[in-house]
Amino acid sequence: MKKIILIEDETSVVSFIKKGLQENGYEISVAFDGRTGVQLVQANDFDLVILDIMLPEMNGLDVCKEIRKTNQSVPILFLTALGTSENIVLGLESGGDDYLVKPFKFIELVARVKSLLRRSNNNGPQETVEPEPDSEHVFQFSDLIVNDYTKKVTRGGEEITLTSTEYKLLLYFLTNPEKVISRAEILDAVWGVNYELGTNVVDVYVNYLRKKLDSQDDNKLIHTVIGMGYVLKKS
């Protein structure tokens, strides 16, 4: 049974979400303030975090940042009434993987939860021997190498740590090398559901990847094609 923690201070929202997710087969823990939420996440092995932004003790953005200091892999879904593009970008920049604006239909929440858990499962540790370099599970582009069994990412021999969403985005680029990919295509492929948060979501995560992949290298790999999208190619 998948374990989810809900960090939310509104009792009515907590009751609604907890009951619904339990009926869908999930084990739910609850924290009613940000500081307690951080402590519970650090002390337990949760499969997903559902996080409000407006919280007592510590706001959701800071909670997310604290979680990411020690846990890069657990998916974080922001659930909040702050639905402007600026707030969406702030949530993603703090380390969130997805964003759902109140009020929402419960079926939307379940779809996001399933999508995040599915992506997390795909990126989780595998109990298997690392394949040989010529395996079909290893992707290489220039000096960038991704082992899709172990989820190990290296560039120039240096290992790079990615969040689950960053990894999914990178793998999508690697399976479409030198092809111009639109923002809409990336939203559909990486986020797994058809919804529109605005192109800032894609831009923010592409920027994350660029900072991690290109920070020590003059050979930039991810390029912007104005008016069309992005492409993975050698400089």
pLDDT number for residue 97: 85
pLDDT number for residue 19: 95
pLDDT number for residue 84: 63
Pair type for strands 98-101 and 48-51? unpaired
pLDDT number for residue 192: 61
pLDDT number for residue 144: 92
pLDDT digits (tens, 9 = 90+) for 176-235: 999 999 988 888 888 665 555 555 778 888 988 998 898 766 789 999 999 899 999 987
pLDDT number for residue 125: 45
First-to-last C-alpha distance (Å) of the chain = 46
pLDDT number for residue 115: 82
Which has the closest alpha carbon to 66: 213, 55, 124?
55
Q: The whole model's pTM is what?
A: 0.65
**Domains observed in the chain:** 3-122 (3.40.50.2300), 138-232 (1.10.10.10)
Residues of the chain with pLDDT under 50: 125-134
pLDDT number for residue 25: 95
Cα 77 from Cα 159, distance rounded (Å): 27
pLDDT number for residue 196: 54
Pair type for strands 222-225 and 158-160? unpaired
Cα 200 from Cα 70, distance rounded (Å): 26
pLDDT number for residue 96: 86
How many angstroms separate the most distant Cα atoms in the chain? 54
pLDDT number for residue 101: 84
* 8 Å CB contact between 63 and 34: yes
* 8 Å CB contact between 217 and 211: no
